[in-house]
């Protein structure tokens, strides 16, 4: 994905067409009605002006009421149409906007769920683009459809009134058209600058939102108060906001100058036309009806012309933002997935990392520098290493959130890149170091571990039991249906302030473990610091349970508390991006290297505390 500050004009019709197609798919009936109303809104003013001339000329010529009844009724009908159209149009617009918004957002989030890895989501450019796509995706396509039809309406009206002017004086018509050209060009220039400005300040907008979120978020509230960070964050938020506003004000100034100039040109054309018409009428070359038609036509050309420019401007601007939406929706896959992936199948031999090199980006330092590691089926491998050694990174490669920069990860000899990532992930149960605490009920918080068990209370309770959290959840005000948040409640709980409950850090960790236990029939279990927040008794109990659970299963365990992993089949020490030591606890202690030193350090710490 490359940085985008403007969109070639040739891409704009494609965007308009894409938006109309979304509209036609989302609400075909509403769109058809909208087209009809648009055509009526474009034709009616021209027809009304022409009929009015007939009526005025008829009156001036002293024609009787009988001759004028039909044009009068026609005029009344056109007036009715002109009166009703805005309300109908507003109604249809609202319906179309909502229908198109749902479909467009659905497509955007479908595209997001097609993203296989997480690397692309970490790029600031992606985050900016996503924010703009979310902004434009909700109402952008609907507005584009509205702009397109609005432009059609203005074009119908403009061509009608230009035709009228041409019939009265071709020079006037030419002059009116000539004034529209520079207006369009100027507007496009303004739009491009506006889109560039929006892209430029998008980082500011993101930072502003981040500080605003920090100022009000529950998770930041403790540190914010203790460390007195409110003033700092508010200042930074305001700084970003003010800088963004300054850019916006410069653009507003440009817009004011250009638009005033265009309005002046248009008024001069209109005034000139009127002076000419009055002279012609005084000389008897134009009738009173002609004058009324000319006044209507000059006004009509002005309003249709500026309507066309406005619509074009709005369409151009929306298309520029919609470009971010389409770039994301039509993006190539972030990680290559073969069209016909091989089946991963149940793990039989094991997982192997061969000479794996990895860094998070070409400009980032190497995290892994040639890791060779075998995780045989049925064995437990413990990963050990200092902070930042690359343990969690290795886990992310096992889940194929990233591809190795060099080397390969294989599942029973088949490269993960040849397999369907969804199938591989379905065969893995994992508790991440930074697991999610969903603002859902307790049952759902465990159930998301295996959607097929979401409504199976027995399985949920069994998993919670194994994680040692069943009793605590059962004792909540609404048992497993209690919301684990005080931010919002289920509809049924709305009246009851008692039902939103907050868990402690350790309790949350148990819920996350229960989520993984729900996936206990998986081929590989990965636990990244699963007991870091537990009290010693709970940790002991849990590791005993885990040992039982791991028997005969393939697991990868990460823990800084070396006592909890000493019975792993193999302990692998990562350092400087490579496997520095490997072996059983006894072997590594006998080798008396880094692991033994760390183990003794921890053991001495406990002994000293006694
Ligand atoms: N998403 C990321 N983008 C860029 N760098 C990252 C990212 N995640 C981790 N890193 C870097 O990769 C290195 C390894 O991080 P990793 O989280 O794998 O270490 P770890 O061994 O799990 O550490 P810990 O024991 O602290 O959990 C660190 O230097 C970290 O800064």
CATH of the domain at 167: 1.20.1560.10
Q: How far is the CA of 547 from the centre of ligand 1 (A)?
A: 27
Q: For residues 244 and 239, what is the distance between their CA atoms, to the nearest angstrom?
A: 9
Predicted local distance difference test score (pLDDT) of residue 6: 57
At 179 the pLDDT is: 67
Domain termination residue (choose one: 271, 306, 329) = 329
Does 377 lie in the same domain as 321?
no
Determine contact, residues 573/582, Cβ cutoff 8 Å: yes
Quick one: pLDDT band at residue 474, thresholds 50, 70, 90? very high
All residues at 6 or more sequence positions from 35 whose CB lies less than 8 Å from its CB, including other chains: 149
pTM of the shown model:
0.75
Pocket of ligand 1, candidates 359, 369, 389, 580: which has the most ligand atoms within 8 Å of its Cβ, to mutate? 389
What is the residue-averaged pLDDT of the chain?
86
Q: Are residues 515 and 538 in the same domain?
A: no
Instruction: Please indicate, yes or no, if residue 150 is contained in any of the structural domains.
Output: yes
**pLDDT digit string, tens, across residues 526-535:** 988 877 767 7
With contact defined as beta carbons under 8 Å apart, do 477 and 499 qualify? yes
393 Cα nearest atom in ligand 1: 18
Report which ligand 1 atom has the smallest distance to the Cα of 390: 18
H or E, element range at 526: strand 524-528
Is residue 363 within 8 A of residue 369, CB to CB? The reply is no
Does residue 536 share a domain with residue 499? no
Whether residue 483 is found in the same domain as residue 532: no
Atom of ligand 1 nearest to the CA of 385: 21
**Phi-psi group of 412: left, alpha or beta (phi > 0 → left; psi -120 to 50 → alpha; rest → beta):** left
Q: Under a CB-based contact definition with an 8 Å cutoff, are residues 169 and 163 in contact?
A: no
Domain-terminating residue out of 286, 306, 329: 329
**Does a structural domain hold residue 208?**
no
Q: Is 486 inside a domain boundary?
A: yes
The whole-angstrom separation of Cα 1 and Cα 4 is 9
Q: Are 582 and 595 in contact (CB under 8 A)?
A: no
φ, ψ at 563 (rounded to 5°): -60, -30
Mean pLDDT of 320-334: 87
289 plus 370 within the same structural domain: no
Candidate of 366, 391, 401, 562 to mutate for ligand 1, largest count of ligand atoms within 8 Å of Cβ = 391
Handedness of CA 199, 201, 207, 213 (dihedral sign): negative
Q: Do 508 and 450 belong together in one domain?
A: yes
Q: Is residue 226 situated within a structural domain? A: no
Asked whether the predicted pLDDT for residue 288 surpasses 90, the reply is: no
Residue 368, phi then psi, degrees to nearest 5: -115, 135
> Is the residue at 210 inside a domain?
no
Count, in order, helices (H) and strands (E) of the chain: 18, 10
Residue nearest to atom 9 of ligand 1 (CA): 393
Task: Flag whether 236 is in a domain.
Answer: no
d(CA 183, CA 308): 10
Same domain flag for 317 and 176: yes
Closest CA relative to residue 299, chosen from 324, 271, 278, 318: 271
Whole-number Å distance, alpha carbon 416 to ligand 1 midpoint, is 22
Instruction: Look at strands 570-575 and 380-384 and give their pairing.
Output: parallel
Mean pLDDT along residues 542-552: 73
| H or E segment to which residue 70 belongs | helix 65-113
Cβ distance 308 to 158 under 8 Å? yes
Residue 602 in tokens: 């921890």
Residue 37's pLDDT is: 92
Asked if residue 500 has pLDDT above 80, the reply is no
- Whether residue 230 lies inside any domain: the answer is no
Q: What is the mean pLDDT of residues 592-596?
A: 91
Q: Measured from the CA of 529, which atom of ligand 1 is nearest?
A: 27
The secondary structure of 164-211 as a DSSP string is HHHHH-HHHHHHHHHHHHHHHHHHHHHHHHHHHHHHHTHHHHHHHHHH
Total residue length of the chain: 610
- pLDDT confidence of residue 172: 73
Same domain, 455 and 589: no
Alpha carbon of 215 to ligand 1 centroid (Å): 27
User: Hey, which of 126, 367, 402, 532 would you mutate to test ligand 1's pocket, going by the most ligand atoms within 8 Å of its Cβ?
Assistant: 367
| Residue 214 within any structural domain of the chain | no
Enumerate residues lining ligand 1, CB below 6 A: 122, 360, 364, 367, 385, 387-393, 433
How many angstroms does the Cα of residue 2 sit away from the middle of ligand 1? Answer: 26
Lowest mean pLDDT among 127-141, 292-306, 441-455, 563-577: 292-306
Per-residue b/e over 575-586, b at no fewer than 16 CB within 10 Å? eebebbbbeebe
Q: What is the CATH number of the domain that holds 480?
A: 3.40.50.300
Atom of ligand 1 at shortest range from CA of 361: 4
- Calculate how far, in angstroms, residue 576's C-alpha sits from the geometric centre of ligand 1: 12
User: What local confidence, expressed as pLDDT, does residue 404 receive?
Assistant: 96
Nearest CA to ligand 1 atom 28: 388
Q: How confident is the model at residue 448 (pLDDT cuts 50, 70, 90)?
A: very high
Its domain, for residue 307, covers 11-202+250-329
Distance 525 CA to ligand 1 centre (A): 21
Q: 351 φ, ψ to 5°? A: -115, 140
Helix (H) or strand (E) run with residue 578 in it? strand 578-583
- pLDDT of the residue at 605: 67
Q: How confident is the model at residue 489 (pLDDT cuts 50, 70, 90)?
A: low
Q: For residue 175, how far is its CA from the centre of ligand 1 (angstroms)? A: 67
Query: What letters, b where the CB count within 10 A reaches 16 and e where it falls short, cover 418-438?
Result: bbbbeebbebbbbbbeebebe
Residue with tokens 């940085």: 3
Nearest residue (by CA) to ligand 1, atom 6, is 360
Do 531 and 515 lie in a common domain?
A: no
Count of beta carbons in the 10 Å neighbourhood of residue 501: 18
Lowest average pLDDT, out of 132-136, 432-436, 462-466, 494-498, goes to 494-498
Determine the Cα–Cα distance for residues 161 and 255; give it in Å rounded to an integer.
27
Ligand 1 pocket test, candidate residues 388, 398, 430, 573, most atoms within 8 A of CB: 388
Ligand 1 atom closest to the CA of 386, numbered from 1: 25
Ligand 1 atom with least separation from CA of 560: 25
If you measure from the C-alpha of residue 34 to the centroid of ligand 1, how many angstroms do you get, rounded to a whole number?
Answer: 54
| Closest C-alpha to ligand 1, atom 30 | 388
In the numeric block, the tokens 């955007």 are attached to 108
**Do both 143 and 60 map to the same domain?**
yes
**Domain match, 578 and 607 both:** yes
Residue 515: which of 423, 441, 421, 443 has the closest Cα? 443
Whether residue 575 contacts residue 389, with contact meaning beta carbons closer than 8 Å, is answered with yes
Same domain, 174 and 111: yes
Instruction: Using the 3D structure, point to which of 476, 492, 521 is the last residue of a domain.
Output: 521
Angle, helices 457-466/505-517, rounded to nearest 10 degrees: 120
- 162-176 pLDDT, tens per residue? 888 788 778 777 876
At 311 the pLDDT is 83
Compute the distance from residue 72 Cα to the ligand 1 centre, in Å.
Answer: 80
User: How many Å apart are CA 575 and CA 66, to the nearest integer?
Assistant: 101
Total of domains in the chain: 3
């Amino acid at each position: 994905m490359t940085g985008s500050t403007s969109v070639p004009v040739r891409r704009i019709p494609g965007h308009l067409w894409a938006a109309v197609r979304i509209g036609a798919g989302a609400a075909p009936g509403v769109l058809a009605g909208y087209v009809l109303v648009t055509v009526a809104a474009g034709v009616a003013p021209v027809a009304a002006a022409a009929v009015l001339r007939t009526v005025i000329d008829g009156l001036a010529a002293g024609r009787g009421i009988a001759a004028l009844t039909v044009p009068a009724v026609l005029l009344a009908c056109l007036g009715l149409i002109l009166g009703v159209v805005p309300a109908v149009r507003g109604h249809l617009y609202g319906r179309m906007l909502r229908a198109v918004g749902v479909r467009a957002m659905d497509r955007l989030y479908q595209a997001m769920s097609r993203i296989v890895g997480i690397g692309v989501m970490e790029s600031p450019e992606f985050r900016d683009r996503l924010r703009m796509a979310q902004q434009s995706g909700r109402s952008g396509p609907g507005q584009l459809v509205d702009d397109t039809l609005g432009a059609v309406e203005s074009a119908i009206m403009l061509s009608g009134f230009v035709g009228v002017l041409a019939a009265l004086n071709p020079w006037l018509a030419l002059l009116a058209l000539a004034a529209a050209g520079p207006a369009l060009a100027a507007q496009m220039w303004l739009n491009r600058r506006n889109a560039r400005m929006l892209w430029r300040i998008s980082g500011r907008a993101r930072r502003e939102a981040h500080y605003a979120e920090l100022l009000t978020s529950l998770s930041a509230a403790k540190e914010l108060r203790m460390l007195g960070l409110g003033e700092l964050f508010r200042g930074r938020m305001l700084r970003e906001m003010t800088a963004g506003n300054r850019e916006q004000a410069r653009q507003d100034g440009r817009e004011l100058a250009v638009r005033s100039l265009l309005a002046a040109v248009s008024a001069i054309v209109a005034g000139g036309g009127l002076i000419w018409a009055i002279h012609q009428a005084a000389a008897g070359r134009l009738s009173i009806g002609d004058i009324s038609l000319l006044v209507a036509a000059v006004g009509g050309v002005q309003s249709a012309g500026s309507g066309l420019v406005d619509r074009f401007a709005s369409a151009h601007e929306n298309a520029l933002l919609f470009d971010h939406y389409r770039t994301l929706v039509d993006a190539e896959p972030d990680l290559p997935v073969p069209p016909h992936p091989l089946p991963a199948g149940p793990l039989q031999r094991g997982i192997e990392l061969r000479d794996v090199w990895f860094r998070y980006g070409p400009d980032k330092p190497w995290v892994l520098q040639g890791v060779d590691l075998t995780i045989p089926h049925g064995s437990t491998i413990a990963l050990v290493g200092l902070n930042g050694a690359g343990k969690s990174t290795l886990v992310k490669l096992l889940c194929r959130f990233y591809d190795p920069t060099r080397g390969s990860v294989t599942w029973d000899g088949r490269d993960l890149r040849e397999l369907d990532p969804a199938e591989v992930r379905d065969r893995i149960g994992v508790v991440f170091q930074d697991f999610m605490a969903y603002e859902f009920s307790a049952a759902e918080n465990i159930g998301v571990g295996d959607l097929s068990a979401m409504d199976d209370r027995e399985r949920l309770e069994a998993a919670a039991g194994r994680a040692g959290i069943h009793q605590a959840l059962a004792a909540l005000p609404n048992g497993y249906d209690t919301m684990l948040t005080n931010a919002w409640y289920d509809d049924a709980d709305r009246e009851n302030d008692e039902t939103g409950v907050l868990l402690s850090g350790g309790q949350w960790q148990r819920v996350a473990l229960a989520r993984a236990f729900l996936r206990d029939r998986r081929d590989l279990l990965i636990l990244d610091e699963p007991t870091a927040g537990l009290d010693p008794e709970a940790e002991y109990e849990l590791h005993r349970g885990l040992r039982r659970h791991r028997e005969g299963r393939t697991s990868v365990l990460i823990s800084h508390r070396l006592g909890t992993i000493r019975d792993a089949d193999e302990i692998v020490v990562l350092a400087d991006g490579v496997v520095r030591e490997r072996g059983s606890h006894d072997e590594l202690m006998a080798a008396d290297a880094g692991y033994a030193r760390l183990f003794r350090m921890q053991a001495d710490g406990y002994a000293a505390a006694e």
